[in-house]
Structure formats: C-alpha cells, structure tokens
Chains A and B, each alone.
Chain A
C-alpha cells in the first residue's frame, strides 16, 4: 500500500568541517547552514584585539574547502520536482480534457444524461444516457467484490496465520502469477470455458429463484453479468489478497501472544487481534478492488452479450448488458464525428469520476488506519 512516510526523520546535513577543527575556533553561524549548503558560513571571531580578517585568513589556511558548483544540484532538483508535479498535472488533465470534449455533446443531448437508457449518437440528434451502463457496471463490480473479498481475506489469513513461511512463499507466488495474467486471456477463458461451465448452475438458479428480480428471465446465461462478475472477482483477488496479507502480517506480536496466553484458539486470536487490526486495510483493499472491477474493459467486453437496442431493461444478473468501459471499447471503431466521440467521452468521464472517488476513499481509509 502506498502510505507516505510522514514521520520520516529529517536527513542530517553534513557537519561543517571547519567547526570541528579546534585550532580555528571561529564562530560558526549555524543558522546560516541551510539544507543546500554543506559548506558552513564562517563568521569572523569578534574577540577583543583580534582583527577579524586574521581569523578568516587562518580559516583559509587550515581547511581548504573547494567550491562546489550548485548548478548540477539545481538542475537535478528541478527535474525531479517537475516530474512529480507532472504526475499531478497528468491526472488533472485527464479530467479537464475529458470534460472539455464531452461538454458540447452533453449540451446537445436531447435526453437526460443521468436517467436515460437510450444510446443514439449517430446522425444529427443526440439521445444518450448512462442509466443502463451505470446499472451493469455497478452490479457487476459489486457482485465481484462481494465474491472476492471473503475469499481474499481467507487466503490472506491462511498465508499469515496458518501456513509456515516456507509454504506461504509458493502461495504468494501463485497469487502474483494470477495478477500477471492479462485481462484479455481471462476474457477469452470466461467466454469459452467458464461461461458454458456455469450455465447449468445459472439455469437451475433461474428456475428456482426466478421470482426474485435479480434472477429473473434467462436471456443468455453464457454472456451474463454473472459470468462477468465471477471473472472480475478472480481478477481482483490478487490485489485484495496482497494488501490484506500485508496488514495482517503487521498485527502486533504482543496482541497475538496476549490472546494466546488467555487460552484463545487460533480462530479467536484472529477474531480478537488480527481482524480488528487489519479492518481498515481490508476495507481499503476492497475499495481498490472495486475500482479495478468498475474500470475493467476487455474481459467484460468479450464476455457480456450486448443487448439489442431498444430491448427492455432487466435487473437480472443473468442478463447481458454493457458497462461504461465495454461500451466505449465496443464502439471504438466508430469515433468519427466529434459529437459522437463526445458522447463516449462523456461515458468515460463518468467512469473516471467514479474510479477517482473510489480510489480516493480507499486511500483515505488506509491513511486513517495507519494513524489510529
């Protein structure tokens, strides 16, 4: 986790050389030693009867301090600072440029952008809204998070509290490899292997629980939100595991030993010492996972069946649909007129704002957890 090291000690500047030489004993003005200058400013000794220039001459004879050019330092410092600020600018620019290009299309939009489910962007009349995209995006991401977080916490506990270090090494290797699999391969696998595998179970659920809106109607269990969220859950597992593992591993040894000394079983140690310590970390990790799931493009695009335009809305997790990301990627070839592109960029802007908020919340929770 990226947590800034707030109580970092100030780096000690090099001791002024001249001040350590007893034969010189000039009055060294420490206040003048700034962070930039390792060479102390030697101020004249004001002893009565001693001419000021005498001390200066002696100082010059005793230690020879070469003049160090500060140009290199200045250039390097500004280079580093510029790179840092460039990152801030980059994120701001993403928001600004997306907004600038989306605005004309948003103003020309005949429908309500937030509540409409239409997406007619060809031709002169723009009618588009994000209600349908928003529903599918949030439904798939939240489902994925709900599936991934309990499993991830279990794995993180297993790695930190149950397994010996020798065994948990290979497990964390597997988790790292899972994180390395490109999303298009998860998409391909989800479409051709996992989808058909889950279809009978989905059909059974629909036949038994069809009266609940979430399970209504069998549109296409192969390319459904359900399959997409299972794949998303697998894809966000590694990040949630990695962060949870790190916070669980930092549980104070005293707390664990105190619980053990009171006769706690291993589960009770986890419940009373490990979980309370890691709570904010796990919440933050879940939010990061949610952010990933919201923005995942290609796997979702490949798996979800695009509903035909004008088809009625279905809240079912076994229906197809389009997320913000999959909608944009599916239609990337059609970015020909500015107004049309603007509509897709508006969808991208909403996705940016949502992921920005989710990631910011994740970071704030993580920082709070560190402080307390």
Chain B
C-alpha cells in the first residue's frame, strides 16, 4: 500500500476478490464449526429424552428399586441408584471441599509467589488431568491390595476425591484472587489476625464462587463410571451403607443394562436412567451458573 501524498486524494478500495473470498470462507468455516458443536448436544439430549421420558413420569421410578426385576419385566425404579449416586458424591464432597478450599487458601493467602506454591499448582494441573480409571486403580491399590479392605462405596468416594479436588481448588483460587486487597488490609488495620481475616472476610466475600465450584465438582463426579466399575459392585436393591461392597448408582445402572435389545422393557429403563442422570447433572450446572451470576465478584 502506498502512502497517500498531499495532492492525491485518499482512495479507499474494497478488498480484492481473493481477499473477499478468503474472508467469506473463514466466516463460513466458523459458522459451520459452531453448528457442528451444537448438533451433538441437541442430538444426545433429544435421543435421551425421547427414549427415556415415559418412565420418569410415574412415581414408581422415583420411589422403587430394581430388586426382583429382570430385564424382561416392566416396573421398578431408580431410587436405589439415585440415592447411591448422591450419597457417594456427598461423601466425596465432605473430603474434597475442605481440602480444596484450604489448598486454595494456601496458594493465594500464604504461598503466593513461592516455589512451594508453584509446585502445588503444577500438581493440581496434573491431578486435574488424571484419568478416572487411574484414580480408581490407585485407590484399589491402596485400600484393597495394601490395606486389605474390601470394595466399598467409601473407596469409590475416595477415588472421586482425586477428581473433584482440582475442580474445587481451581474455582476457589480464582475467587480468592478476585477478593480486593483493600478488604484484607482494612481487616488487618483493625488488628484482626490473618486467619480470622481469611475466615471472616475473605471466604464470605468469595463464598458464591466457592459454592459454584463445589456444584460443578459434584456434577462431574456424579457422572463418573470407571471408579464404580472397579471399586464397588452394582446392587439392584436398596443398600445405603457406604461400608458394604455393593451400592446402586445411575452410571452403573446404565452400564449394567446397556446390551438390552430394544424390545425388552429393560432397554427403556437404561435410557430413563440416562435421562435421570443428565437431569441431575444439568440441574447442578444450572444452579451453579445461577449462583455465579448473582453472587460472584466482578472482575474490575
């Protein structure tokens, strides 16, 4: 492009043909890419809803277990699996949330910029990339081979801790970063000690974000299947004791019945279980987003 001189008027030209074509191609590409991303979600959701919604309408689905129900028989529900899934996720959260929040407090409030904090932060990234099957094998090695304990729902929860911990820690860390320093300084100026400042000022300010992280973490671990396959047997009946070796769960309920031919009543129950699982997970995600919208600190 030549620079305009004083006597020549500025000549604006439309981009040449090749450039316009390239630009249009790029626009088409990004549009198609976005559609390609939306299609699978819509496809999966409609498939699951159409095949599974019917059973969810009756109260038996929510109140009965699969005890004594063969794939050839109609009836029964997912009560045992829903409670099992929720119970294991809650036990997991009881361990993962304090650890994750304290870990984030270490990274932001105590260790900021130190070498230890960098090491911890690196390991959190590694932990968030650990496949669920490896987490399950680790807990298997530790609990069952080394400690000689049996399979149990608690073992599953411990494996899930490895998967939930990085989610909770990262979201808490992001929130703590957003808490303005002036709040901390105001508290110090009043002579409040550091830990009380963290507990009474920093955490309450970041609370909404922490809850969001916990809910996203719960949603993630509820959908995990691999630890359930390795660390607990699927029970068709109601068993809510976390120390025994069987417990129902929605993912294993789907897995147990996945080979049913479409004409069997058991086939529909598989899709109904899938729909129930999706509903729980989506509900948690939506709630998390709502909480985030109303309580999160805004970035300046």
Contact between chains at A68 and B106 (CB < 8 Å): no
Which residues of A are found within 8 Å of B27, using beta-carbon distances?
Answer: 162, 266-267
Interface size on A, residues (CB 8 A): 111
Whether A171 contacts B274 by the Cβ 8 Å rule is: no
Point out the residues of chain A lying under 8 angstroms from B146, CB to CB: 97, 101
Q: Given the known inter-chain contacts A73-B193, A87-B124, please indicate yes or no for A8 contacting B112, CB distance below 8 A.
A: yes
B-chain residues with CB within 8 Å of residue A77 when the two chains form the complex: 110, 194-195
Among A86, A153, A155, A292, which residue has its beta carbon within 8 angstroms of that of B129?
Answer: A292
B269 within 8 A of A: no
Tell me whether B281 and A181 are in contact (CB under 8 A): yes
CA distance A13 to B98 in the complex (A): 27
Interchain nearest-CB distance for B286 vs A (Å): 9
Q: With A and B bound together, what is the CA distance between A240 and B58 in angstroms?
A: 40
Nearest 8 pairs of A and B residues by beta carbon: A295-B131, A182-B223, A154-B33, A76-B195, A359-B129, A83-B102, A84-B106, A267-B26
The complex places the Cα of A83 from the Cα of B165 at a distance, in Å, of: 11
> Closest approach, in angstroms, between the C-beta of A230 and any C-beta of chain B?
9
CA distance A173 to B290 in the complex (A): 12
A70 within 8 A of B: yes
Whether the pair B120, A325 counts as a contact (CB closer than 8 A) is: no
Asked whether A363 and B122 contact (CB < 8 A) given A174-B38, A184-B251, A325-B226, the answer is yes
Residues in B103-152 with C-beta less than 8 Å from chain A: 103, 105-107, 109-113, 116-135, 137-138, 140-142, 144-146
* Nearest-neighbor residue (CB-CB) of A170 within chain B: B38
Q: Is the CB of A83 within 8 A of B33?
A: no
Interchain CB contact under 8 A, A352 and B129? no
Tell me, in angstroms, the Cα distance from A185 to B41 when the chains sit together: 11
Whose C-beta in chain B lies nearest to the C-beta of A325? Answer: B133
Show the binding face of B for A, using Cβ within 8 Å: 1, 15, 19-20, 22-23, 25-27, 29-34, 36-38, 40-41, 43-44, 47-48, 98-99, 102-103, 105-107, 109-113, 116-135, 137-138, 140-142, 144-146, 162, 165, 169-170, 177, 181, 184-185, 188-189, 191, 193-196, 198-199, 219, 222-226, 229-230, 251, 254-255, 258, 270-271, 274, 277-278, 281-282, 285, 289
B258 touches A302 (CB 8 A): yes
> In the assembly, what is the distance between CA of A79 and CA of B112, in Å?
16
Contact A262 B137 (CB under 8 A): no
Q: How far is the CA of A185 from the CA of B275 in the complex (A)?
A: 9
Tell me whether A66 and B38 are in contact (CB under 8 A).
Answer: no
- A5 to B222: give the CA distance in the assembly, Å: 31
Kindly identify, within residues 119 to 169 of chain A, every residue whose CB is under 8 Å from any CB belonging to chain B.
150-155, 157-159, 161-162
Chain A positions 2 through 14: 1 when the CB is less than 8 Å from some CB of chain B, otherwise 0: 1011101111111
Describe A's contact surface by its main secondary structure: helix
A residues at B contact (CB < 8 Å): 2, 4-6, 8-15, 36, 38, 65-66, 68-70, 72-73, 75-77, 79-88, 90-91, 93-94, 97-98, 100-101, 150-155, 157-159, 161-162, 171, 173-178, 180-189, 191, 193, 234, 237, 241, 262-263, 265-268, 270, 288, 291-292, 294-298, 302, 324-325, 328-329, 332, 335, 338, 341, 344-345, 348, 351-352, 355-356, 358-360, 362-363
Report the nearest B residue to A158, measured CB to CB. B30
A191 vs B77: C-alpha distance when bound (angstroms): 24
- Are A332 and B229 in touch, CB under 8 angstroms? yes
B37 touches A98 (CB 8 A): no
21 A-B residue pairs with CB within 8 Å: A6-B113, A8-B112, A11-B185, A68-B193, A73-B194, A77-B195, A84-B107, A85-B116, A87-B120, A88-B119, A90-B165, A98-B138, A152-B33, A159-B34, A291-B129, A298-B225, A325-B226, A351-B134, A355-B130, A355-B131, A363-B125
New A-B contacts (17) at CB < 8 Å, excluding given A159-B34, A180-B285: A2-B128, A83-B98, A87-B103, A87-B165, A87-B169, A88-B119, A158-B33, A180-B223, A184-B274, A184-B277, A188-B274, A189-B47, A193-B43, A265-B19, A297-B225, A328-B230, A348-B134
Contact A151 B254 (CB under 8 A): no
A73 to chain B, nearest CB (A): 5
